[in-house]
Structure 1
Amino acid sequence: MIIESFIKTAKKNFNKIVHEDSTGIALTFGQTLTAGILLSRHVRNFEGDNIALVFPASVGGALAFIATTLSGKTPVGLNFIAGKEEQDWVLDTCDIKTIFTSRVFIQKAKIDEDPRMVFIEDIKEKTSKLEKMMTYFSCKIRSSHSLVQKYKELDAPDKPAIILFTSGSESKPKGVPLTNKNIYVSIRAFSTVFQPKLNDKVLGTLPFFHVFGFIACLWLPLIMGMGAVFHPNPTDYERIGRIVHRNRVTMLLGTSTLYRGFMKRWKREQVSSVRLAFAGAEKLNESVRKKFGEKLGITIFEAYGVTESCSCITVNYPDDFCHGSVGRLMPDVQCKIVNTETYEELQPGNEGLILIKGPNVMNGYYKAPELTEQAFHDGFYITGDIGKIENGFLFITDRLKRFAKIGGEMIPLAPIEDKLSNVLDQDTENEKRSCAIVNIPHSQKGEQLVAFVVDENPDKISLNSELDQAGLPKLSQPDHYISIDSIPMLPSGKVDYKSIKKSALEKFERNV
């Protein structure tokens, strides 16, 4: 599985650089293996079975995740840009007793210290030069077989390799344990898509608490013998352009929003080394795709996946693609399009609920048997997305779950409605629903939020100010407010989101 594959790849490419970052640090496979083993000896003594990791996309962050895996502990990717309530929920759910992080990073990111924190800088000081040298030569001299045997028990197919959290239709985040097997088969499938070359380097700007950052930017290079170049800020467009040029990056991973920024700041000569570019997390804007190709000479291939599927479900292959679709199924992945009510399988070309099945799909949510039961039907995972298959290509046409994707971030709409309702209901005793929120496309940031409110003259500035005070992040605050006499309802008692979304699209068609 992943540890065995990493060790064999490291031994084979001992002196080849695998990890670099924008601070100038660069490590070979041999150095990475050595540092991972040295660090794992300390992580093994950390309190608790699950270890929360708080690191940016960097060489140090990569080593921390590798070391936690080699220690036998389970890393928990903590979203350090999420709200405190969400972070506390994750820490409590996973019974976190140790938070592994960097003192320099948390100070720079202005993250409050926690008594559970252990700093990587302190561990480095405890490791002697002699211990480093002995471990390095041991890794170099020992056979792959003996090293693999040492970690065999930790590399079991069903052992969790990571616990990631993703917000579901509920207000609380859901834990997604991904096993060694989930990751291994996903990486092997990736290799069939882009046929990795010896000089390939992936741009690693996605955080490791993001499934694609963890799989494609961290473990893919370690297993396939590629390189990765890390930079913690994906919106640092100009600097990233220089990094791509200086480090001869060959593979880009990003969202439509990021590619828009890249397109505006990069020059063609900076990206002459790039041979592949993949987009996900939000719908790829057709204008961005065309202009990116015209200006930089690079075709962006759209892909589709969810955290529960260990990233990719479908992808547009470089030699077999259909613009506007999210591509063909990855190897060994099964997909069914079914009726949203009866779950009866539909014929190709008909829109329905997307169900998937495969060795890359999680076994179930962490400590949530009821949510797990709801998430599967007849062995297939229910993605919550609406789509259709035509000529073997999957097209996403709508989302069943009430989320917006803004700048690549998943924003649940229910909590926004709840907080806005509380604000609107402060000065009224009206029992009827006071608001409803829908998400519609936006030409620049993917999607925008439109709030329909039962108020004659809704004032965006004052309402968003009150939402600020209620603790709602700015990314989740409505972009527009529309006055409405009453919120339209369906006979079932549910909000008629379809009709109000249609109204929003008609009103803001110029921004779509």
Structure 2
Amino acid sequence: MILTGMIVAALVAVYVLTALWQGYRLGVTFQQAVLYLPLKLVFRISDGRIRIARQADAPVIYAISHQSRLDPALMLALLPDDTLHILDEESATSSWLEPFRTLARTISFNASHVFVSRRLVRHLKGKGRLAVYFPQTVEPDPKSFRLFRAVARIAVTAGADIVAIHVGGSRHLPMSLAPEAEAPRRWLPKLTIAALEPISLDSSIVRPGRAPTTSSNALFDRVAEARVAASVPRSLFAAVSGAARLYGPERTVVEDGLTGPLSYRDMLIAARVLGARFASVSSGGEAVGLMLPNSVGLVTSFVGLQSAGCVATMINYTAGPANVTAAIRSGAVRIVVSSRAFVDKAQLADIVAAIEGAGARFLWLEDVRPSVTAFEKASAALLWRWPVTPVKPSAPGAILFTSGSDSRPKGVVLTHENLLSNTAQIEARIVFTPADTLLNVLPAFHSYGLTGGTILPLVYGVRLYLYPSPLHFKQIPETAAKVKPTITFATDTFLSAYARTADDGDFASLRLVVAGAEPLQAETRRIWRERFGADIVEGYGLTEASPVVALNTRTHSRQGSVGRLLPGIRSRIEPVDGIEDGGRLWISGPNVMRGYISTRGAENVTPPPDGWHDTGDVVAFDREGYLTIRGRARRFAKIAGEMVSLGAVELLVQRLWPEERHAAVAVPDRKRGEKVVVLTTNTAAEKSELRAFGKASGVAELIVPDTIITVDAIPLLGSGKVDYVTARRIAMESLGIDKTT
């Protein structure tokens, strides 16, 4: 008995001393530390940033994303004990939370407490602290969003700062507030508490580096930023491997029409086998080319390159031999992973010759498969959770080349952190769940197809169906009818083409259609809404931003805009001569590239100056922060000293002839410096009709082009964007203008 008593006393002493240490470390009371310590040990909580919240000067509102029933317990144990917590009715009465509720004042959440706000304003003006728990969904409905408006009004009236807090990982606890179909449960996930610096909503509305917005939107954005900040930095392989553990190794994650479905475990086993082979023929951190269509083979090869610690260099096999040669040389690529069957079917003999001529050799997947030994398979089956060569999140993960729609493609180096930050930013705006199936037709050599169409579903447990080419306008609707996807990403050009060949029921399963890479035409939006019952969400991005910068969502959407900036992205507008309504957009954020390849290889880059990237786009923000693209800075013509947006010209022509495709380019003109030429597929196009429509629309006379050229098809890049370099060449040849002009 004496020995037992001594052991118990020793354990109690250790517990008390540890609690005292935790109290000193975090600045909490002894009672708080005693109750917090078991949670700290069980969930291995990363809590270093909670000091930011505790040290915030009153008056302050803690804006907490309420993911699980555990969140109030953590906040009661960690926030200053003079904080008034507004709890939901279950948390306010739950018996297991009773010890935690003794740590601070609490009131039960209901409409009268939240929306009749004078009591809360008085509390804050008296140098008080308030903890408010916001809905866990990233797309709150209008009723739920009322809470953001109410709290924003209280904060502005009381002059209170906002500290946004998010408990990363609690969404997957057994006591999660999210439906289990959307958030698979784990008993002991590691939790990370993210707390952002205090900021007033008045300054948030016009704070440097952000677009102007309303106070409620500023509060909503701050909560979303905390969600992104809770993401733990990791490599691409670690993110996919972690998703396998979270969503289940046997869960089907990727599928195509030839290979069939593959589970996380099987995909990672195949990636481990390939990763070992890739590592044996390359050096650490080397850029290795990947030239494959959308397929299971592409995914296993990409993840295999990440396992090997290689930098996946995505080869745009539609860019032509000259551009591919330049890509191989600038990336210092010695090895290109590809498939003979694909090369033969796609008739890429000239691309193969260009790659070999640039000094690279091919590693054919057909040669790897039969040579895999039983030992390699067994080893991969045991070690599939771990990479062959671990890398840091800050290391280069992929090299992509810009579309080259109006200039020569540039090599963009994106780190693991860049790519995963962008997936987290997107996931903080749009709901993705394991119940979704994503149909991806966009090639992985395009950043939209790689991040949104490949990496994001792998990381968030979305079932991914890959289709090899976006140009199969008839087969893709038929595939959608069989696969029944809930999400798809595409460009306006492709969406318009699919609608022309699809039956009304082919896309009936879709709940989310995201359009990017080029402006979404009103006619495309109308057709998809009327025929398929699908509202298209338009976004904006660029390769250098991994790629998504702004996005419309169910909660925040404005037709004609590309939405609001994603969480964590800062912006500034620089004036452009001749343009009053808008300016040149610069951006900064965790998703902005490491830099352009400047000499040879992924380690030799030209980084953005001070982390700021010049997008080259002329844009405007409205008072609520919605972004409208006026056009590329290069996509303006200077006519008699006046700046004319070629994008605005295209929109005018598209409104007149919505069933056809058009492209506006600028060519030299002796009298006025430049003139605008429209290429159109409308064989009946008449200048007089366009002139009359422009006058009736009230646009400036300069906007209406006086030269129209009819073509069989508008030249496109492999990504679906208009190839303006080729379009301009066609216009100049048609008009007999010297190409050197």
| TM superposition score category, shorter chain reference | 0.7 to 0.9
* 2: CA distance, partners of 1:473 / 1:108: 27
> Per-residue CA shift, 1:384-418, capped at 9, x if unaligned?
10010002100001210249xxxxxxxxx9xxxxx
Does residue 213 of structure 1 match 2:444? no
Q: Report the counterpart of residue 478 of structure 1 in structure 2.
A: 730
TM-score scaled by length of structure 1: 0.76
Counterpart of 2:619, as a letter, is G
Does residue 385 of structure 1 match 2:622? no
Residue 238 of structure 1, CA deviation? 2.5
Q: Report the counterpart of residue 54 of structure 1 in structure 2.
A: 291
Quick one: which of 460, 483, 493 aligns to 1:224? Answer: 460
Quick one: which of 215, 235, 239 aligns to 2:471? Answer: 235
Q: Report the counterpart of residue 16 of structure 1 in structure 2.
A: 251
> Per-residue CA shift, 1:465-497, capped at 9, x if unaligned?
xxxxxxx9966642587869999xxxxxxx9xx
Contact 2:403–2:409 under 8 Å retained in 1: yes
The 3-state SS of whatever aligns with 2:429 is helix
Larger deviation: 446-455 or 115-124? 446-455
* 2: CA distance, partners of 1:45 / 1:315: 41
Residue 288 of structure 1, CA deviation? 0.9
Contact 1:305–1:313 under 8 Å retained in 2: yes
> Per-residue CA shift, 1:170-212, capped at 9, x if unaligned?
9643110000100111111111222112121211111111101
Contact 2:486–2:509 under 8 Å retained in 1: yes
Mapping 1:322-471, distance limit 5 Å: 322-340=558-576, 350-367=581-598, 376=608, 379-390=611-622, 391-402=624-635, 440-441=649-650, 443=654, 444-445=660-661, 447-449=663-665, 451=667
Contact 2:256–2:466 under 8 Å retained in 1: yes
Contact 1:279–1:302 under 8 Å retained in 2: yes
The 3-state SS of whatever aligns with 1:193 is coil
Residue 290 of structure 1, CA deviation? 1.1
Residue 224 of structure 1, CA deviation? 0.6
Relative to structure 1, is the Cα distance of residues 64 and 475 closer, same or farther in structure 2, using a 3 angstrom cutoff? farther
Counterpart of 2:430, as a letter, is F
Q: Mark the runs of 5 or more structure 2 residues left unpaired by the alignment.
A: 1-233, 638-644, 655-659, 672-706, 711-723
The 3-state SS of whatever aligns with 2:305 is helix
* 2: CA distance, partners of 1:486 / 1:251: 47
Counterpart of 2:545, as a letter, is S
Quick one: which of 236, 239, 262 aligns to 1:5? Answer: 239
Relative to structure 1, is the Cα distance of residues 479 and 338 closer, same or farther in structure 2, using a 3 angstrom cutoff? same
Relative to structure 1, is the Cα distance of residues 129 and 327 closer, same or farther in structure 2, using a 3 angstrom cutoff? same
- Taking only aligned residues, the RMSD between alpha carbons, in angstroms, comes to 3.5
Larger deviation: 393-402 or 300-309? 393-402
Relative to structure 1, is the Cα distance of residues 128 and 475 closer, same or farther in structure 2, using a 3 angstrom cutoff? farther
Counterpart of 2:663, as a letter, is E
* 2: CA distance, partners of 1:459 / 1:196: 44
The 3-state SS of whatever aligns with 2:298 is helix
Q: Report the counterpart of residue 29 of structure 1 in structure 2.
A: 264
TM-score scaled by length of structure 2: 0.53
Quick one: which of 435, 440, 447 aligns to 1:199? Answer: 435
Residue 383 of structure 1, CA deviation? 0.5
Structure 1 stretches of 4+ moved >6 Å? 458-461, 484-487
Percent of aligned positions with the same letter in both sequences? 25
Q: Report the counterpart of residue 110 of structure 1 in structure 2.
A: 347
Residue 272 of structure 1, CA deviation? 2.5
Mapping 1:175-186, distance limit 5 Å: 175-186=411-422
Residue 59 of structure 1, CA deviation? 0.8
Q: Report the counterpart of residue 136 of structure 1 in structure 2.
A: 381
* 1: CA distance, partners of 2:549 / 2:586: 10
> Per-residue CA shift, 1:454-474, capped at 9, x if unaligned?
79xx9989xxxxxxxxxx996
Does residue 160 of structure 1 match 2:160? no
Relative to structure 1, is the Cα distance of residues 16 and 124 closer, same or farther in structure 2, using a 3 angstrom cutoff? same
Counting matched residue pairs gives: 430
Structure index of larger Rg: 2
* 2: CA distance, partners of 1:121 / 1:10: 27
Residue 305 of structure 1, CA deviation? 0.6
Relative to structure 1, is the Cα distance of residues 9 and 459 closer, same or farther in structure 2, using a 3 angstrom cutoff? closer
Contact 1:282–1:446 under 8 Å retained in 2: no
Residue 270 of structure 1, CA deviation? 2.2
Q: Mark the runs of 5 or more structure 1 residues left unpaired by the alignment.
A: 404-412, 414-436, 462-471, 488-494, 496-512
